[in-house]
Structure 1
Amino acid sequence: MRTVIEGATVFPVDRANSEYGTGHVVINHGVIEAVGEGSAPDLGPVDERIDGRGCLATPGLVNTHHHLYQWATRGLAQQSDLFNWLVTLYPIWAGLDEEITEAAATAGLVRLAETGATTVADHHYVFPQGAGDPFTAVVSAAHQVGVRLHAVRGSMDRGQSHGGLPPDSIVESLDDALHGTEAAIDRYHDPEPGSMVRVAVGPCSPFSVSQELMKEAADLARRKGVRLHTHLAETLDEERQCMAEFGCTPVEYAGRTGWLGEDVWLAHGIHLSDEAVGWIGNSGTGIAHCPTSNARLGAGIARVRDLIEAGAPVGLGVDGAASNEDGGLGGELRAATYLARLRGGPEALTARAAVWLGTMGGARCLGRQREIGSLEPGKQGDVVLWRLDGYEHAGIVDPVAALVFGPLPQVRLLLVGGKTVVEDGSIRTVSDVDTATALRRASSRLIRRAEEA
């Protein structure tokens, strides 16, 4: 099937820094066939022709860090820092099961798609006893919604009885965590170009995972040829704990346990010394920058400009909806820009650099820069068409600035592999009414379980 978008402003986010004032994008059998100025070339029969006038076309946004199950627990622990927030929410998450996880994941993915995301990395690390198969529930939700999923099979083996934060009831043994992770890779990981599901290995964090699990999980990931993901350097509390327990900073700990390298991307990376920024950049380790979540928890402002200049891949993440109740990805473009400027001044991050973070930066973090992240022939047909023809953006002559600085535009069209997922601001693959109903029931059931525990 060949789809032609014409008449839009096109910002491809390519190496040539191209921009087309009135351009075209052609997708054939899910792959981009042509991008350029003016009308589309005659490449053969056209199945669908889309009038893009008044719109901005960009690559689909890439969400590099999320916890979809948390959509069921929004609005709690509103004045807490990270550690107290976790202590409050872990007992509630102990009531998660497969059904609740799928309802929450579906709602979270719908919100992400409606705000421009075509690829989502989800870090699921909570596996309560008797909960069924919540990892499969996330994969199922992504299949229904129609977005690409990087499913990070998380794990925790360090409960409160061993000095960790989570209750013992939601952690696994070392062997169970490793076996469960390997089984998820064998069942779901698809390394083929254009694949819809890939699996990564993701022990949760230094304060909920043993050193043995960190090391053995890294070995497992490299033996299986998949990527590695974990939280790191999110708060000063974490740094103090690492210094007390291991005699080193979180980044030094990551290096000791095999968690620096081009196959690794880390969530947050806020509290970094100049030396640590250099280690991350020189090793090619990626950073998932989650500006709204970091601000909500008061965790700090990541050194995004410094990390980019050091050579580190940096992408954007929403993080779990329990610490970012908006749950959308498009708004992180502005949040990242504003926080970078609070830290480094008005030149710290441009509107175009913010879009790069949300597209190519994220693709690099996930190791998919040859497949997604820009609008170029041969790449996947993951495209967002943003509406800029309303009063909300009238008078902003720079369409990229309108996207980043103005109100988040309606998604006129979101294509994943050339297939329509969102049209005129609404999801087209699942029922938003059914999604809302299932989420309300799931959230109520989860809170009730916590109250009865």
Structure 2
Amino acid sequence: MSQTHPGQQRTVIENAAIATVDAQDTEYASGHVVIAGNRLESVGDGPAPAGLDGVVRRIDATGHLVTPGLVNSHHHFYQWITRGQAQNSILFDWLTALYPTWARIDAGLVHAAAQGSAAALLKSGCSTAMDHHYVFPRGGGDLLGAEIEALAELGMRFTATRGSMDLGEKDGGLPPDDAVETTDDILAATESAIERHHDASFDSMLRIAVAPCSPFSVTTRLLTESAELARAKGVRLHTHGSETAEEEAFCKERFGMGPTDYFESTGWLGEDVWMAHCVHMNDSDIDKFASTGTGVAHCPSSNARLAAGIARVPDMLAAGVPVGLGVDGTASNESGELGTELRNATLINRLHGRPDALTVRQALRLGTMGGARVLGREAEIGSLEPGKLADLALWKLDGVLHSSIPDPVAALVLGALPPLTLLLVNGRPVVENGNLTTVDESRIAQACANAARELASRG
């Protein structure tokens, strides 16, 4: 498969196992990838085509697997500096414990936390990040701008969401009153963020989505008017949905219906919507997601950390629900890695006694094309096909931890997370031999340690 880009600088990768994750799940035992500029030019069996001009780098990838760069479909970057707290709590208790701390963040702390979160993602093979930022303390500065700047410095493709909370404790919500904004301020700030930052182009490194936090932290008016705003501006919609049994009970008590029916009543089902978690979904809920094209960000490690339950991912996939993988915030998934979620998704979804509930190739698809689809970028990223953007990961599988596993996709998904020899984003190396290429990791580590101490001191 090839597509010619004359006059472009080229990178050639040869002798690698390749999992394209295209519609046919095409794989090559020993194949090539040719990158021209920021696009994939050729992907196929055997050596690269002869006579290529402008080759600036040629990689012998013997012993490696090439996959699309992983796509993270749900995260909370700011939580990087509050990891390891409320270690034995369910979601509502965990949130109650941490909300007061999060209400003291500012732009400087968010910049450090975003770089720590993004570094963990990049080093685990993730080329596209999504972040759901919904805490905007008064006087905290431009928090959304801080994380956008942090990701740009690292060279990561980014879907930033302007999240929000307007339902505080005094009005029956879970967040403390000093952690919420007014509905009017939220809508104005969200519209401003879209106009300032959203890039809808094919090559875009930055998109904006609209993301009220959850049914227990936002008003019905905010949900309804956020959906109207997003659709008027042509951007996507994201929120938390059906994460816990407590959330379901909250919705039934407050609205007289479960979360999915409530979202449906506010205009929040559709092909432009994806929701995080979706653990407590009945057959009717899954059918509604499938029939409307509403997507899901599956966060297996976070769901386990907070004892939320096991999402019915195999049933969702069988019904045709779009599903991607997410890390979730690193205060409920301290590793912060997306690569390890491939393994955890595979194993956790088999705990009901179905050994084929999720195969290794389905897990890889969740972490690549699945994520691209829920972010609305399946035409641009998520698979290795000519014409798509050059976001790819090169995994080393010939070391002691993987060399005895003959199936390279099984080695990636079931084995330990392999060493990452190369991660390209938009054709640019952002990880080489396991190390970031754009920002000094030791500087990020020190900045995050300082930020965590500073935030803790504000209590």
- TM-score bracket for this pair, using the shorter chain length: over 0.9
Q: How many Å apart are 1:51 and its aligned residue?
A: 1.4
Q: Which amino acid aligns with 1:355?
A: L
1:251 aligned residue (257, 260, 264): 260
Q: Which amino acid aligns with 2:44?
A: G
> Is structure 2 residue 343 aligned with structure 1 residue 334?
yes
The corresponding residue for 2:429 is 420
Q: Which amino acid aligns with 1:10?
A: I
The corresponding residue for 1:394 is 403
The corresponding residue for 2:247 is 238
The corresponding residue for 1:289 is 298
Alignment of 1:365-380 (within 5 A): 365-380=374-389
Q: How many Å apart are 1:45 and its aligned residue?
A: 2.5
> Is structure 2 residue 42 aligned with structure 1 residue 34?
yes
> Is structure 2 residue 201 aligned with structure 1 residue 195?
no
Task: State, as a whole percentage, how many aligned pairs show the same letter.
Answer: 56
Q: Deviations over 1:195-253 (max 9, x none)?
A: 00000000000000000000000000000000000000000000001000000000000
The corresponding residue for 2:6 is none
Q: Deviations over 1:11-48 (max 9, x none)?
A: 00011221111110111010000000111013322111
> Is structure 2 residue 212 aligned with structure 1 residue 213?
no
Q: For 2:281 and 2:394, locate their aligned partners in 1 and report how far apart those are by CA, in whole Å.
A: 36
Alignment of 1:345-384 (within 5 A): 345-384=354-393
Q: For 1:89 and 1:146, locate their aligned partners in 2 and report how far apart those are by CA, in whole Å.
A: 30
Contact 1:8 1:55 (C-alpha < 8 Å) held by counterparts = yes
Contact 1:57 1:386 (C-alpha < 8 Å) held by counterparts = yes
Q: How many Å apart are 1:119 and its aligned residue?
A: 0.4
The corresponding residue for 2:440 is 431
Q: For 2:132 and 2:71, locate their aligned partners in 1 and report how far apart those are by CA, in whole Å.
A: 14
Alignment of 1:267-278 (within 5 A): 267-278=276-287
Q: For 1:409 and 1:376, locate their aligned partners in 2 and report how far apart those are by CA, in whole Å.
A: 23
The corresponding residue for 2:140 is 131
> Is structure 2 residue 121 aligned with structure 1 residue 88?
no
> Is structure 2 residue 114 aligned with structure 1 residue 105?
yes
Alignment of 1:38-53 (within 5 A): 38-42=46-50, 43-53=52-62
1:10 aligned residue (4, 7, 18): 18
The corresponding residue for 2:312 is 303
Contact 1:2 1:45 (C-alpha < 8 Å) held by counterparts = yes
Which runs of 5 or more residues in structure 1 are unaligned? none
> Is structure 2 residue 151 aligned with structure 1 residue 142?
yes
Q: Which amino acid aligns with 2:207?
A: R
**SS at the partner of 2:240?**
strand
1:57 aligned residue (48, 61, 66): 66
Q: How many Å apart are 1:418 and its aligned residue?
A: 0.7
Q: How many Å apart are 1:188 and its aligned residue?
A: 0.5
> Is structure 2 residue 75 aligned with structure 1 residue 66?
yes
Q: Which amino acid aligns with 1:37?
A: D
Q: Which amino acid aligns with 1:393?
A: H
Q: Deviations over 1:259-278 (max 9, x none)?
A: 10000000001101101100
Contact 1:301 1:343 (C-alpha < 8 Å) held by counterparts = no
Q: For 1:349 and 1:442, locate their aligned partners in 2 and report how far apart those are by CA, in whole Å.
A: 39
Q: How many Å apart are 1:344 and its aligned residue?
A: 5.1
Matched pairs, number:
450
**SS at the partner of 2:350?**
helix
Q: For 1:313 and 1:121, locate their aligned partners in 2 and report how far apart those are by CA, in whole Å.
A: 16
Q: Deviations over 1:355-414 (max 9, x none)?
A: 000000111100111000000000000000001010001210001000001110011000
2:453 aligned residue (440, 444, 447): 444
> Is structure 2 residue 181 aligned with structure 1 residue 166?
no
When the two chains are superposed, the root-mean-square deviation of aligned CA atoms in Å is 0.7
Q: For 2:189 and 2:59, locate their aligned partners in 1 and report how far apart those are by CA, in whole Å.
A: 45
Which runs of 5 or more residues in structure 2 are unaligned? 1-8
Q: For 1:416 and 1:304, locate their aligned partners in 2 and report how far apart those are by CA, in whole Å.
A: 28
Q: Which amino acid aligns with 2:22?
A: D
Q: How many Å apart are 1:194 and its aligned residue?
A: 1.5
**SS at the partner of 2:386?**
coil
Q: Deviations over 1:104-124 (max 9, x none)?
A: 000110110000100011000
